[in-house]
């Protein structure tokens, strides 16, 4: 009997839960079950009985106009057809997106830590960095890039969901909306804290420079501290953005409302390339211009710019609910 | 086997006939049609439900909840007066169709 229920559920799963559809489902299920029972009573094997019931079931297309589901049926199979996501698939999607978020934000943090130690261990004003320190810096960049690639590859598994409307079981969708609601405060706090730390961190070298005008170690320490702070703050911004982006995707809110799908979770997607480019600018300026004493200025500028971009993306995209264009 | 396309215009007639003598429910109607078809036609469940639902909407049948012999709840369908007249009209339409097409059918030589 389970096979019959599963079959009928499968036929009906992508249809809207209207009273008319529910009635058709229950009537058709009843007919199929009656037939199945009678076939078994006649001595037909279970396997054979399921096959005959399914053959006799027919086609929902005949019911489309009576059920008012013509538009849903016609959409099925077209490129913009909504994708049905089971609870398990949705959980896996969230898990992959969260791991991706950690890899990207961790990668950015590692790049900035690599630069921090480069600054910390440099000998004096205008001098080249310590060779070992330079090696550690490149190892950090390589590790971060590897992280970005792994994150990009694992998240691209879900490319098929791009530009599609997702459909979840109603109670699952409600649970995710609730979770999104609960995380609203922590999301806002993370973004605000991230931006505040970046801005304050720029003040560290500026302040210490004024207090100890000619002390090279103090300046280096200050710049290193600033870089670590920026790194942590940026990681926080990316993690918050990607985490929220995944939930938005599942609840079809915010920039994942169908008409806005294209511009989603930019914070997460641009973070990797952005900080690699910043590292490239830093290196080019430092080596070509032999400007190790000034080139660290790239980082506060990049940090504040990143904060501006992140805040812009997270707050200026419309967050109003969408009914999925139905 | 008579094709479903050919029967399409007379699905309502087949369903209404099953309800002439007493109210009936989904599978029982289906079985009745199967018996009278003697293997020459098989009505899909969706075709049957679609017809019953349409007939209910036009007022040819009404539905009510009942229990059949084994005690299971079923939606029963009962023919209305309008349904009976509609059945008679469909029968008359069929007789005319047979007569019309019959004028074009020559005996094989």
Over residues B38-90, the pLDDT tens digits come to 988 888 898 899 899 989 989 999 998 887 666 678 889 999 999 999 999 99
Q: Is residue A36 in some structural domain?
A: yes
- pLDDT band, very low/low/confident/very high, at A259 (cuts 50, 70, 90): very low
Nearest by CB to residue A31, choosing from B27, B54, B57, is B27
Q: Is residue A300 in some structural domain?
A: yes
Stretch A76-101: mean pLDDT, rounded? 77
CA of A44, closest CA in chain B: separation in Å?
A: 17
Q: Which of A26, A54, A75 is the last residue of a domain?
A: A75
What are the structure tokens assigned to A263, written together?
């511009």
**Burial class of residue A185 in the structure, from the number of CB atoms within 10 Å of its CB (0-12 exposed, 13-18 middle, 19+ buried):** exposed
* Same domain membership, residue A282 and residue A225: yes
* Same domain membership, residue A258 and residue A204: yes
**Look-up of token digits 């995209």:** A317
Q: Is residue A322 in some structural domain?
A: no
pLDDT of residue A326: 35
Stretch A76-83: mean pLDDT, rounded? 61
Which residue range is the domain that position B57 belongs to? 4-102
Which residue range is the domain that position A47 belongs to? 2-75
Q: How many domains does chain A have?
A: 2
* Same domain membership, residue A68 and residue A120: no
**Which of A233, A242, A203 is closest to A307 using CA atoms?**
A233
* Same domain membership, residue A271 and residue A168: yes
B74/A contact by beta carbon, under 8 A: yes
A58/B contact by beta carbon, under 8 A: yes
Stretch B10-39: mean pLDDT, rounded? 90
Q: Is the pLDDT of residue A77 over 60?
A: no
- pLDDT band, very low/low/confident/very high, at A323 (cuts 50, 70, 90): very low
- Chain A residue numbers with beta carbons less than 8 Å from the beta carbon of B50 are 62-63, 66
Q: Is residue A321 in some structural domain?
A: no
User: Most confidently modeled of A12-21, A83-92, A101-110, A301-310?
Assistant: A101-110
CA of B35, closest CA in chain A: separation in Å?
A: 14
Answer with the residue of higher pLDDT: B88 or A326.
B88
Nearest by CB to residue B50, choosing from A30, A35, A66, is A66
* Same domain membership, residue A125 and residue A97: yes
Q: Is residue A324 in some structural domain?
A: no
Q: Is residue B82 in some structural domain?
A: yes
Distances (CA, A) of B91 to A174, B95, B104: 53, 6, 20
ipTM of the complex: 0.88
Q: Is residue B109 in some structural domain?
A: no
* Same domain membership, residue A153 and residue A260: yes
- pLDDT band, very low/low/confident/very high, at A314 (cuts 50, 70, 90): low
Rounded CA-CA distance A157/A97 in Å is 10
A73/B contact by beta carbon, under 8 A: no
- Reported in sequence order, the residue ranges of A215-285 that DSSP labels E, i.e. its strands, are none
Q: Is residue A311 in some structural domain?
A: yes
B8/A contact by beta carbon, under 8 A: no
Minimum CA–CA partner of A37 in chain B: B27
Nearest by CB to residue B47, choosing from A30, A38, A58, is A58
Q: How many domains does chain B have?
A: 1
CB B50 to CB A62 under 8 A?
Answer: yes
Rounded CA-CA distance B72/B65 in Å is 10
> Which pLDDT tens digit goes with each residue over A146-191?
888 888 888 777 776 766 667 777 778 888 888 888 888 888 888 8
* Same domain membership, residue A91 and residue A69: no
Across the A/B interface, how many CB contacts are shorter than 8 Å? 53
A82: alpha, beta or left? (left if phi > 0; alpha if psi -120 to 50): beta
Q: Is the pLDDT of residue A124 over 60?
A: no
């Amino acid at each position: 009997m389970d096979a019959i229920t599963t079959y009928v559920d499968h036929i009906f799963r992508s249809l809207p839960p209207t009273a008319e559809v529910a009635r058709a489902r229950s009537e058709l299920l009843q007919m199929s079950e009656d037939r199945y029972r009678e076939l078994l009573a006649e001595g037909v094997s279970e396997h054979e009985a399921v096959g005959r019931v399914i053959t006799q079931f027919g086609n929902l297309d005949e019911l489309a106009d009576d059920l008012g589901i013509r538009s849903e049926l016609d959409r099925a199979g077209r490129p913009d057809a909504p994708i049905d996501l089971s609870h398990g698939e949705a959980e896996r999607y969230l898990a992959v997106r969260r791991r991706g978020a950690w890899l990207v934000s961790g990668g950015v943090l590692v790049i900035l830590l690599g630069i921090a130690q480069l600054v910390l261990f440099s000998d004096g004003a205008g001098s080249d960095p310590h060779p070992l320190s330079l090696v550690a810096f490149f190892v950090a960049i390589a590790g971060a890039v590897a992280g970005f690639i792994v994150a990009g590859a694992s998240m691209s598994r879900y490319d098929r969901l791009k530009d599609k409307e997702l459909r979840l079981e109603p109670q699952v969708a409600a649970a995710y909306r609730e979770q999104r609601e609960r995380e609203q405060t922590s999301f806002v706090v993370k973004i605000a804290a991230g931006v505040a730390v970046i801005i304050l961190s720029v003040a560290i070298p500026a302040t210490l420079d004024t207090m100890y005008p000619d002390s090279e170690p103090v300046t280096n320490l200050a710049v290193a501290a600033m870089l670590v702070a920026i790194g942590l703050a940026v990681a926080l911004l990316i993690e918050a953005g990607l985490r929220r982006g995944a939930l938005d995707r599942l609840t079809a809110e915010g920039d994942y409302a169908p008409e806005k799908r294209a511009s989603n979770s930019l914070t997460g997607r641009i973070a990797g390339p952005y900080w690699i480019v910043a590292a490239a600018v830093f290196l080019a300026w430092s080596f070509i211009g032999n400007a190790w004493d000034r080139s660290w200025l790239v980082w506060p500028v990049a940090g504040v710019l990143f904060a501006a971009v992140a805040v812009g993306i997270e707050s200026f995209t419309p967050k109003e609910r969408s009914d999925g264009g139905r | 086997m008579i094709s479903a396309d050919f029967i399409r215009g007379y699905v309502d007639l087949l369903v209404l006939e099953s309800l002439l003598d007493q109210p009936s429910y989904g599978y029982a109607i289906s079985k009745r049609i199967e018996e009278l078809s003697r293997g020459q036609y098989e009505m899909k469940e969706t075709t049957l439900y679609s017809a019953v639902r349409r007939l209910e909407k036009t007022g040819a049948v009404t539905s009510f909840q009942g229990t059949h012999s084994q005690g299971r709840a079923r939606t029963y369908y009962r023919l209305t007066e309008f349904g009976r007249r509609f059945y008679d009209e469909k029968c008359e339409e069929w007789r005319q169709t047979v007569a019309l097409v019959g004028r074009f059918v020559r005996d094989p030589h």
